[in-house]
DNA sequence: TAGTTATATAACCGTATGGTTATTGTCAAG
DNA sequence: CTTGACAATAACCATACGGTTATATAACTA
């Protein structure tokens, strides 16, 4: 999975709306385009972005190209965020404890001196 | 919170690296710029994006402007993803059951006719 | 076969992104 | 008060993004 592509794909409201729409079932390009005031090629581009990010699959079905959600990718993104946050929060908790400790015995605008 | 801004901010590897670096403690612009082969103004721009997305806070400390992570925002993004995935996966489970049911009594390339 | 529908592709356009260098404003240190 | 470090801002540039219209391709339909 590519975090760059995944986050980028999710950064656009139209693409998120398409994903939400796909939650109600697979959809062809025309069906997905219908709710938007946007041309079909624009939707096709968005779908290509979503596909590139692994957020949807597309199959060929005669004339049309129905799309389906790929939830594994969403879960992977979620897992990444979750693990990152775990690290970050752990660190911040420790920082907070440290700061509290400092405040108990240090000046307000502490450590004004720092060289290199 | 703004999902557009948040996902957009996370879509850049430099910005994610900055966040990871900040997990080890607050950092000034110079400190954050050090690991990258990139000018200080470039880092400043990234920091502005991160701040705009609510992923970091910046305070003024004499001459420098240390940054700190804001984990609440990460949690909010995570929550959004989580809720979306819940809906999506629930839907897909139901779809699968439906399809299985169809296969038990329908033709292979079912529903070839559809008007509007 | 001719016409229509579904989708993709190409070419274009305005704006945004991500970088640069040069400059400016502030604080800190002598 | 001058000098130097930190950081922001401005101006610029190449490329990417998100949209458009027009055209092409392929599969259905009559």
The string of pLDDT tens digits covering residues B6-20 is: 999 999 999 999 999
Rounded percentage of chain B residues whose pLDDT exceeds 90: 66
Q: Is the pLDDT of residue A13 over 80?
A: yes
Whether residue A24 is predicted with pLDDT greater than 70 in this model: the reply is: yes
User: Does residue A111 belong to any structural domain of this protein?
Assistant: no
Q: Cα separations (Å) of B62 from A14, A109, A115, B24?
A: 43, 10, 14, 22
The answer to whether B88 contacts A19, with C-beta atoms less than 8 Å apart, is yes
Q: What pLDDT sits at residue B5?
A: 98
Does residue B98 lie within any of the structural domains?
no
Closest nucleotide (C1' vs CA) to B62 is C27
List Cα–Cα distances, B48 to A13, A60, A93, A107, B8, in angstroms.
Answer: 21, 43, 25, 30, 12
The pTM is what? Answer: 0.83
Q: What CATH number did the domain enclosing B19 receive?
A: 1.10.10.10
Number of domains in chain A: 1
Rounded distance between C-alpha atoms, residue A25 and residue B115, angstroms:
18
Residue of B nearest to A75 (CA): B85
pLDDT at A113: 34
Model confidence at B91, in pLDDT bands (50, 70, 90)? low
Whether A74 and B95 lie within 8 Å, measured CB to CB: no
Residues contacting B54, CB < 8 A, separation 6+: B1, B2, B5, B6, B70, B73
Task: Report the pLDDT value the prediction gives residue A106, as an integer from 0 to 100.
Answer: 37
Structural domain range at position A44: 3-70
């Amino acid at each position: 999975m590519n975090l760059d592509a995944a986050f980028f794909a999710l950064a656009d409201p139209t693409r998120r709306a398409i994903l939400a729409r796909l939650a109600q079932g697979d959809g062809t390009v025309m069906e997905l385009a219908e709710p938007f005031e946007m041309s079909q090629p624009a939707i096709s581009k968005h779908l290509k972005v979503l596909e590139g990010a692994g957020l949807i699959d597309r199959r060929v079905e005669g004339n049309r190209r129905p799309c389906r959600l790929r939830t594994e990718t969403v879960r992977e993104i979620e897992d990444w965020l979750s693990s990152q946050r775990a690290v970050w929060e752990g660190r911040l908790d420790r920082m907070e404890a440290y700061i509290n400790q400092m405040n108990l015995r240090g000046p307000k605008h502490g450590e004004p001196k720092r060289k290199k």
